[in-house]
A and B are shown apart, each in its own frame.
Chain A
């Protein structure tokens, strides 16, 4: 049986070309997650501020965030359950602020939405935002944890 060969590509070249195309079109999934969830310029600005210790500074900030975020999420859940608008507003504000500092902008905007709802007294609408908030936090946490791993690999 005859094999049809491309007139312009020697054997093995087709595979090389395909690999190049794959590399160009698809980023490493880890890199893709970090870039879609965390604003890279914000993270870079923190690294630059730390100078030679930039990665260490950023890792410290990430670790502080990962320690403080879960209690705020818990406070938000409790505040929604008990309809404590003031506590909801404060916890959503604090969580959003610290998330924005690390460039987690989608998550920060969700927190801001929740803060505004608490401010306007819309506890029922706030309740519907809690699940998306929790899901987005898991994504942010994963992206930040990957950042930590990357720096210490």
Chain B
């Protein structure tokens, strides 16, 4: 098992989870907290950007379609920032939506997972991406 080396001032790697679905967000929090990550939450792309600037997370988990600002725009904004070009961004798409997946990579996502979430795939992918930066 590879550990994530935190690059921020936090003692544990920080994952910023952004999803407008309260139920799914609480499951994501539970799944990743159990893996030892420090979790921060946002309910849309705008809030994600604000928290991203303040917290400098080690990984961003982004739902694709959300109100206010969606995951694609949010991802583009993060990628446009000069400081951390390699920050892993994992996009969440609904079912196997080819168009959204293409759009996610065009926006700069590092990888994607689909809903319904396969929880062990999520854990492995977060672990892998976190160690890859």
* Count of interface residues, chain B, beta-carbon cutoff 8 Å: 21
Q: Take A49-B119, A98-B21, A101-B115 as given contacts and tell me if A61 and B27 are in contact as well, using a CB distance cutoff of 8 Å.
A: yes
Contact of A90 among B31, B65, B118 (CB under 8 A): B65
In this complex, the member of A46, A50, A57, A65 whose beta carbon has the largest number of chain B beta carbons within 10 angstroms is A46
Give the secondary structure class of A's interface: helix
Within residues 26 to 83 of chain B, which ones have a CB less than 8 A from any CB in chain A?
26-27, 30-31, 34, 63, 65, 67
CB pair B27 A49 closer than 8 Å? yes
CB pair B65 A101 closer than 8 Å? no
- A103-125 toward B: CB 8 Å interface, digit per residue (1/0)? 10100110010010000000000
Contacts of A46 in B (CB 8 A): 27
CB pair A108 B95 closer than 8 Å? yes
The complex places the Cα of A90 from the Cα of B65 at a distance, in Å, of 7
CB pair A65 B23 closer than 8 Å? yes
CB pair B24 A97 closer than 8 Å? yes
- Residues on B lying within 8 angstroms of A by beta carbon are 20-24, 26-27, 30-31, 34, 63, 65, 67, 94-95, 97, 115-119
CB pair B30 A57 closer than 8 Å? yes
Min CB–CB distance B83 → chain A (angstroms): 31
CB pair A50 B30 closer than 8 Å? yes
Min CB–CB distance A37 → chain B (angstroms): 14
Q: Take A65-B23, A101-B27, A101-B115 as given contacts and tell me if A112 and B65 are in contact as well, using a CB distance cutoff of 8 Å.
A: no
Q: Take A93-B94, A94-B21, A112-B94 as given contacts and tell me if A101 and B116 are in contact as well, using a CB distance cutoff of 8 Å.
A: yes
- A8-51 toward B: CB 8 Å interface, digit per residue (1/0)? 00000000000000000000000000000001001001100110
Residue of A nearest to B70 (CB): A90
The complex places the Cα of A85 from the Cα of B23 at a distance, in Å, of 25
The complex places the Cα of A53 from the Cα of B73 at a distance, in Å, of 37
Residue of A nearest to B21 (CB): A98
The complex places the Cα of A122 from the Cα of B27 at a distance, in Å, of 34
Contact of A112 among B21, B30, B97 (CB under 8 A): B97
Contacts of A60 in B (CB 8 A): 23, 26
The complex places the Cα of A97 from the Cα of B63 at a distance, in Å, of 10
Contacts of B34 in A (CB 8 A): 49
